[in-house]
Amino acid sequence: MRVALFVTCLTDQFFAEAGVAAVRLLRSLGCEVEFPEGQTCCGQPAYNAGYWNEARQMATHTLEVFNEAEYVVLPSGSCTTMVRAFYPELYRDTPQRFTQAEALSHKTFELAEFIVKVLGVTQLGEGLRGQHIAYHHGCHALRELGIKNEPLTLLKNAGAEVVNWEAAQECCGFGGLFSVKLPEVALSMADRKLQTLPKVDYLTSADGGCMLHLAGRIENRKLKLPVKPLASVLWEAHAHQAEG
């Protein structure tokens, strides 16, 4: 099975090791991983800020880059949502591009979702035994795409205890440009997430933006709480078994 990794700009720049983990994990599960080097940003920040012409330019670029892919997998819930749910919206007036966007939409998956739904794997290994983890659901993956149980299943089956977190499904306040347009509100939202968080070994999420925002707030408030990208955690879950 051929998988084109859309690493996303935030993972590329800020969570490079999570991109590496995603490649290793997919290979280890039998996928042939490609990295189309023309890829850049999906355009979501522009789309969410109302700049649809600019978002369309980036979407068109991305459509071309991934045109030949069999599957496209992203270690990011919100970028997956941009490609899958919002790209077709951008081409309502151009049928040819719309068809191309629909085609890309149908072969695009978030990493954990791809592992569970397409590869049919729910047991990656037992590398997370004894770990207490908080999982932050990115809003787009959760509410636009309905991805909720897939990451939790993989984490739990690898031996982790995913703690019951009152605010697990609430927005962390990132929201792209929202986080800098209304920083006080965004930070107050992050504080609500952090105030309700039970004691855990670390926090994980499939969304780079949310993690930058939460980790930035955690460090600013001098809280001792590591934040690890989901792809890295899933590789850790699996590597244990792969090595053993």
Partner 1 sequence: MQLKANQYPRESARVLREEPQVRDSVTAATLNFDAKRRQMYGEIEAETWRGWAEAVKNHVLTHLDTYLPQAEAALQSNGVQVHWAENAEAAQRIVAEIARANGVKKVVKAKTMVSEELGINPLLESLGLEVLETDLGEYIIQLLGQPPSHIVGPAIHLNLEQIRELFHRKFGTPLEAPPEDLAGVARKLLREGFLQAEMGISGGNFLVAETGTLALIENEGNIRLSTSAPRIHVALVGIEKLLPRFSDLSVFLSLTARAATGQRLGTFVSLIQGPRRPHEPDGPEAVHVVLVDNGRSSVLADTEAWETLRCVRCAACLNACPVYRQTGGHAYGYVYSGPIGAILAPGLVGLENTKPLPYASSLCGACFQACPVRIPIPKLLLTWRNRAVEQGLQPKAEGAAIRAYAAAMTRPWAYTLGSKALRMLPKEALDNTVLPVVKAWTEGRAGLKPSPKSFRELWKEGI
The contact set with partner 1 (CB under 8 A) reads 7, 9, 11-17, 19-20, 23-24, 35, 37-41, 43, 45-52, 54-55, 57-58, 60-61, 139-140, 142-144, 170-171, 173-176, 178-189, 192, 212-213, 215-217, 219-220
Which CB atom, from 34 or from 201, has the smaller least distance to partner 1?
34
Give the span between the Cα atoms of 70 and 211, in whole angstroms. Answer: 29
Long-range contacts of range 43-47, CB-CB < 8 Å, 24 or more positions apart?
43/82, 44/78, 44/79, 44/82, 44/86, 44/176, 45/176, 45/177, 47/82, 47/86, 47/90
Which CB atom, from 49 or from 152, has the smaller least distance to partner 1?
49
Which CB atom, from 107 or from 143, has the smaller least distance to partner 1?
143
Which CB atom, from 32 or from 123, has the smaller least distance to partner 1?
32
Task: Please give the single-letter amino acid code of residue 147.
Answer: I
Residue 122 Cβ, how far from partner 1 at the closest point, in Å? 25
Residue 159 Cβ, how far from partner 1 at the closest point, in Å? 26
Residue 235 Cβ, how far from partner 1 at the closest point, in Å? 11
Residue 163 Cβ, how far from partner 1 at the closest point, in Å? 19
Which of the 8 DSSP states describes residue 75? S
